[in-house]
Structure 1
Amino acid sequence: MTILDGFLFIAIFAIWAILIVNVILTIAGYAYYLKWSRTPPPMLPSAPPFVSIMVPAHNEGIVIVKTVQALLALDYPADRYEIIVINDNSADLLKALQQLHPDRNLTVVNTDKTNGGKGKSNALNIGLQHARGSVISIYDADNTPEHDALRYLVAELLSDDHYGAVIGKFRTRNKNATILTRFINVETLSFQWMAQAGRQQLFKLCTIPGTNYVIRRDLLEQIGGWDVKALSEDTEISFQVYARNYRIKFQPLAVTWEQEPQTLDVWFHQRTRWVKGNIYVVLKNAHKIFTKAGRHIRFDLIYFMSIYFLLMTSLILSDSVFVLSVAGVVHSDINGFSNGLWLTAVLAFVISTFVTITTEKSEMKFSNLLVIIAMYLIYSQMWLVVAAYGMVNYVREQVFHQQAKWYKTKRYK
């Protein structure tokens, strides 16, 4: 076996190990789905807590009205929640909404040149200063939560004192806009909500997404709010919750619909922000892997490290050898073996991913099977480019002591 074959064997082993972990998460997630589907929904107490819903809005004039209207229509006692929009140059449309609903707790906190334009974490910290609720809920400006979403989130949070936060499920509102949004729709169902369910089933572990969740006010104050250096403030706050011996619960009944990137450019910039943000969080908490304090987040730390470092390197090496061998530039004695494993990996990916979308009856169609196949061939390679680009940019920013910039995701009518 040559040195090249040795490296290729290690790369194949790493890819398969991570693929198997994802298949196990899918199986566990489906088991959680079956158990959850037979569980009665959580019920609010007769005297529900006061909730502060915070919506960071930076140049969100296109979508903010629809979002606020959905929040005003939530099936939660109107006098027991408030809506706080942290308005960073969004639009004067919010004033009109306040005038239309003078009897509702709708507050607009306007930022200025001194405290605005500094990212989502900064906006949330500003909103927290104005919040009155003992429970804090977060929604992005492009969300339209279903009317019972908040009720399920809060009821689940109150069902166990060990829950520091409860997260819901989010779906793609514009899934039929482009082939990219169709990819994202399947990605959301399989690699976000089903993976959350699998981690909940196996490890009682979840990661807070950026939207559609509730968190205890006193816990947030213990943490000190959101880390303004974290581009992935959701992952970072999740680790902080577990560090204080609280758990995060996943409640799929709480559904929100959000708008996803429709063009490659917008998707690329958004996902690059995610990659850089998650790398920051992993490196910030890496020292906890083998400590008692990090026992709750150990799986996530190892998983994220494997995805962003081991898997990315392995895929680049494997793809390079495959292309060079086809071109006749290099020769590998295990290339045929690796090609057989590659085909098996495609089947494992397609089958496990299709199983996840069977939990949504409207998604069980032949066209989505074709989308999943295309995702393996195209979308996963796009993610590889994003991961590599994000890592290079993160290293460059650290070397030259540059402040990471928050990229504003473009919205659509």
Structure 2
Amino acid sequence: MSILDYFLFLAVLSIWGILVVNVVLTIAGYVNYLQKVRRPELQLPVKVPFVSIMVPAHNEGIVIVKTLQSLLNFDYPKDRYEIIIINDNSAELLAEVQSLYPHRNLKVINTDKTNGGKGKSNALNIGLKQARGSLISIYDADNTPQRTALRYLVAELMSDQRLAAVIGKFRTRNKNASILTRFINIETLSFQWMAQAGREKLFKLCTIPGTNYVIRRDILEKIGGWDVKALAEDTEISFRVYRMGYRIRFQPLAVTWEQEPQTLDVWFHQRTRWVKGNIYVILKNARLLFTKTGRPIRFDLLYFLSIYFLLMTSLILSDSMFVLSVAGIAHSDLVGFSNILWLMAIITFVISTFVTITTEKGEMTIANLMIIVFMYLVYSQMWLAVAAHGMVGYVREQVFHQQAKWYKTKRYQ
């Protein structure tokens, strides 16, 4: 075997290893989901805790009214929660909503040039200072949660004192807007919330998403609030919660619908922010990988390292060898073998992904089956470009001591 054969073999082995891990997580997640939807519904305690719902809103005039109407419509006791909008440039519409609901606990915090425009973590820390609740819930400004979402989250959290937070499931509100949103819809079902359920089942690990979750205020204050340097503030705070010895639980019945990017440019910028944010969290915690302190987050650290470094390198090498082989520039004795494994990988990916969407009404269609095949061939390559771009951008910012900028995702009517 040549040196190229060895590299190609390692690349294929790495890709398949990560694929197998994801299949195992999917199976475990499916089992976890079935167990949770069949168990008796949890009830709120007699003494219902007061919840502060915080919504960071930067130029969110297009979507904020619909979001607020959904939050005000929760079936949670009306006198036991407040809504705090940390507002930046959405004042007129917020004033309109306040005039419609003057009797409700709706508070607007208007930022200025001194304390505003510094990202989501900063906005949440500002809101926390004025929050009255013993529990804090976070929703993004583009969310329309179901009426029962907050009640499910709080009931789950109050059922176990070991829990620091409970996270819900998010669905794609505009899934039919474009082929890209169709991709994101399936990605959300398969690789975000189903993977959450799988990691919880096997490792008692869940990562707080950016929205639709509730967390205990005392624990939040104990860990110092949100890290203002973190673009992926959700992953970063999850790691600190676990390192303190607390747990996070996934409740799939608590559902919110959110708006996703409809164009490639918006998607690329948003996902690049995710990549930079996760790289920051990985490097911040990498020194804990094989220490006692880092044991609770070890699987996630290894998983993120594999996804952002090992898988990316392997895919670039595999794709490069395929192109060079077709062009007749390079030759490997393993190309034929690699192509067989590649075909098997597609089949495995399609089957496991399709199984995950069978849990959702209306998603088990031939059209989605074709979308899944297309996702492997196209969407995964798009993610590869995002990962590479995000990594280069992160390195550049560190070398030149540049402040990471929070990219504001475009909203749609």
Which bin holds the TM-score, normalised by the shorter protein? over 0.9
Following superposition, the deviation at residue 274 of structure 1 comes to 0.1
Q: Does structure 2 conserve the Cα–Cα contact (< 8 Å) formed by 1:325 and 1:331?
A: yes
Amino acid at match of 1:374: F
CA distance in structure 2 between the partners assigned to 1:336 and 1:273 by the alignment: 37
SS of equivalent to 1:248: strand
Residues 194-217 of structure 1: per-residue CA shift (max 9 Å, x gap): 000100110111000000000000
Amino acid at match of 1:333: D
Q: Does 1:47 align with 2:51?
A: no
State the superposition RMSD in angstroms: 0.6
Q: Which residue of 2 aligns with 1:125?
A: 125
Q: Which residue of 2 aligns with 1:110?
A: 110
Structure 1 stretch displaced more, 113-122 or 88-97: 88-97
Following superposition, the deviation at residue 36 of structure 1 comes to 1.2
Q: Which residue of 1 aligns with 2:398?
A: 398
Q: Which residue of 1 aligns with 2:315?
A: 315
Q: Which residue of 2 aligns with 1:183?
A: 183
SS of equivalent to 1:349: helix
Q: Which residue of 1 aligns with 2:362?
A: 362
Structure 1 vs Structure 2: percent identity of aligned residues? 78
Q: Which residue of 2 aligns with 1:374?
A: 374
Q: Which residue of 2 aligns with 1:164?
A: 164
Residues 43-72 of structure 1: per-residue CA shift (max 9 Å, x gap): 101221000000000000000000001000
CA distance in structure 1 between the partners assigned to 2:47 and 2:174 by the alignment: 37
CA distance in structure 1 between the partners assigned to 2:389 and 2:84 by the alignment: 35
CA distance in structure 2 between the partners assigned to 1:219 and 1:357 by the alignment: 35
Q: Does 1:60 align with 2:22?
A: no
Q: Does structure 2 conserve the Cα–Cα contact (< 8 Å) formed by 1:57 and 1:64?
A: yes
Q: Does 1:224 align with 2:194?
A: no
Q: Which residue of 2 aligns with 1:246?
A: 246
CA distance in structure 1 between the partners assigned to 2:34 and 2:76 by the alignment: 27
CA distance in structure 2 between the partners assigned to 1:289 and 1:40 by the alignment: 38
SS of equivalent to 2:231: coil
CA distance in structure 2 between the partners assigned to 1:270 and 1:89 by the alignment: 20
User: TM-score under structure 2 normalisation?
Assistant: 0.99
CA distance in structure 1 between the partners assigned to 2:323 and 2:235 by the alignment: 35
Structure 1 stretch displaced more, 92-101 or 373-382: 92-101
Q: Which residue of 2 aligns with 1:13?
A: 13
Q: Does structure 2 conserve the Cα–Cα contact (< 8 Å) formed by 1:49 and 1:80?
A: yes
CA distance in structure 2 between the partners assigned to 1:37 and 1:109 by the alignment: 38
Q: Which residue of 1 aligns with 2:174?
A: 174
SS of equivalent to 1:147: coil
CA distance in structure 2 between the partners assigned to 1:163 and 1:171 by the alignment: 24
Following superposition, the deviation at residue 91 of structure 1 comes to 3.4
SS of equivalent to 1:109: strand
CA distance in structure 2 between the partners assigned to 1:187 and 1:39 by the alignment: 27
User: TM-score under structure 1 normalisation?
Assistant: 0.99
Amino acid at match of 1:183: F
Q: Does structure 2 conserve the Cα–Cα contact (< 8 Å) formed by 1:75 and 1:147?
A: yes
Q: Which residue of 2 aligns with 1:262?
A: 262
Provide the aligned length of Structure 1 versus Structure 2: 413
Q: Which residue of 2 aligns with 1:3?
A: 3
Structure 1 stretch displaced more, 191-200 or 34-43: 34-43
Q: Does structure 2 conserve the Cα–Cα contact (< 8 Å) formed by 1:59 and 1:91?
A: no
Residues 99-137 of structure 1: per-residue CA shift (max 9 Å, x gap): 111110000000001111100000000000110000000
CA distance in structure 2 between the partners assigned to 1:16 and 1:317 by the alignment: 14
CA distance in structure 1 between the partners assigned to 2:407 and 2:42 by the alignment: 37
The list of structure 1 runs, each at least 4 consecutive aligned residues, that deviate by more than 2 angstroms after superposition, is none
SS of equivalent to 1:55: strand
Amino acid at match of 2:284: K
CA distance in structure 2 between the partners assigned to 1:297 and 1:227 by the alignment: 18
SS of equivalent to 1:292: coil
Q: Does structure 1 conserve the Cα–Cα contact (< 8 Å) formed by 2:173 and 2:257?
A: yes
SS of equivalent to 1:167: strand
Amino acid at match of 1:8: L
SS of equivalent to 2:53: strand
Alignment of 1:130-169 (within 5 A): 130-169=130-169
Amino acid at match of 2:238: S
Amino acid at match of 1:146: Q
Q: Which residue of 1 aligns with 2:30?
A: 30
Q: Does structure 2 conserve the Cα–Cα contact (< 8 Å) formed by 1:60 and 1:91?
A: no
Structure 1 stretch displaced more, 114-123 or 89-98: 89-98
Q: Which residue of 1 aligns with 2:303?
A: 303
CA distance in structure 2 between the partners assigned to 1:233 and 1:204 by the alignment: 20
Q: Does 1:286 align with 2:269?
A: no
Q: Does 1:325 align with 2:322?
A: no
CA distance in structure 2 between the partners assigned to 1:134 and 1:361 by the alignment: 35
Following superposition, the deviation at residue 398 of structure 1 comes to 0.3
CA distance in structure 2 between the partners assigned to 1:368 and 1:91 by the alignment: 40
Amino acid at match of 1:18: I
Q: Does structure 1 conserve the Cα–Cα contact (< 8 Å) formed by 2:37 and 2:253?
A: no
Q: Which residue of 1 aligns with 2:346?
A: 346
SS of equivalent to 1:293: coil
The runs of 5 or more residues in structure 2 that have no matched partner are none
Amino acid at match of 2:216: R
